[in-house]
A and B are shown apart, each in its own frame.
Chain A
Amino acid sequence: MEFMTQVALISILFFSLFILIGLYAYRWGSRERRKWRGSNTWVKAAATLRSVSLKDKTDSDLHTTHSVEVLYQYEFQSAVYESATICFAYTPSGSLDFHSKIYNTLKDAKEIEIWVNPSKPNESVIARGLAPSSNFVSRFGMVFILVGLMMMIIFLLFEVPHDSSLIDQIQTFK
């Protein structure tokens, strides 16, 4: 295989990974935003709170993330469903204040109000808000897509010549 073909192939494979990761993150963020925008048609229902806990997780870099884990049960159109969704795009984060406020509001509750998607009753949320992480994840995805695309184009547009081929192109005279 020619050197240039190898470079083109490797760059396509390598930067495709960036683009795929970016697309995945962007899709997740935009899907949650789409659900959030469409949630004005969701209907109120009462749910029984089965469990609620505040979780802390510390990684190897000693960064701690917090999250609230909930489980609630509700009845909708004569069927019983279970869900664990607090709001759209809810993910663990470093903001202890945000998660603590959610936990403190829910810790003593037995029955709560939830919002149910009438066309997909297994989809429900406790609050119809959109967590800030959706913007972060979408933008993170955008950067990966942009960097991947830009690098791929550069490696495909610009040839990467061997040093020896550069030398061969220099013609000197005594």
Chain B
Amino acid sequence: MSFLRWSAFVVLSLPMIYMFYKTIARPYIQIQSSAEWPAVTASITKFSAYKGEVNLEYAFVDGADTIRGNSLFFGARTKFDQDFVKELEELFSGASKVRVFVNPFDPQENVVVRELAGIKSVVIAALFITMVEFFMFMLLIGLDLKHDPKEIVDEIVVLN
């Protein structure tokens, strides 16, 4: 029974491991490895900012291929505060090209700024993963550790 519960715990943990890789490990690896990425000049094909949502699209030539990208920063964040968006709008207004860093081994992986724009999503993901793993552990493994309060009451011996 215990083996079954541990197996279920490991199998149900797989999505959390994937989420950990996508939201925490991968951005960290990207930031570290991108220090050596070469820069190219890309043409800006679209820039829009609406209600804090920033959308940048660009294209650059890699050999015979034209690669399209839309990563302003690493991570999934696309919403920013108004002041930051204003600064981005000023920077991109009238600009036709932007410097993009490209992974030489996989040009589809490219980014304008080799950093995370804040770690809010990483923190939320970490809290979510910790809580889900903890409750799964409680439900699947914790059942084996449960003690019956009745045992305590039954053990009390009154002499007179």
Contacts and interface: CB of A to CB of B under 8 A. Distances in A.
B126 interface: yes
B115 A169 contact: yes
Interface in B7-53: 24, 27-28, 31, 41, 44
Contacts of A46: 159
Given A150-B130, A158-B122, A160-B118, A174 B94 contact: yes
B147 A150 contact: no
Contacts of A173: 41, 95-99
B153 A131 contact: no
Contacts of A167: 84, 87-88, 91
A1 B146 CA distance: 50
A43 interface: no
Interface string A99-121: 00110011011111100000000
Interface string B118-134: 11001100110011001
Interface residues on A, range: 35 or more
Contacts of B127: 147, 151
A135 B142 contact: yes
Query: Which of A110, A166, A169, A173 has the most B CB atoms < 10 Å from its CB?
Result: A166
B115 A135 contact: no
A58 interface: no
B115 A127 contact: no
B152 A87 contact: yes
Contact of B147 (A129, A151, A155, A164): A129
Given A157-B28, A170-B98, A131 B113 contact: no
A115 B80 CA distance: 64
Interface string A11-29: 0000000000000000000
A166 B122 CA distance: 18
Contact of A170 (B24, B83, B91): B91
Contacts of A109: 158-160
B117 A166 contact: yes
29 contacts: A98-B152, A98-B153, A101-B150, A101-B153, A106-B156, A110-B159, A126-B156, A127-B155, A128-B155, A129-B155, A131-B152, A132-B146, A132-B147, A139-B137, A146-B134, A147-B130, A154-B122, A155-B119, A158-B122, A159-B116, A161-B115, A163-B80, A163-B81, A167-B91, A169-B112, A169-B114, A171-B98, A172-B91, A172-B97
Interface of B: 24, 27-28, 31, 41, 44, 72-73, 80-81, 83-84, 87-88, 91-92, 94-99, 112-119, 122-123, 126-127, 130-131, 134, 137-138, 142, 145-147, 149-153, 155-160
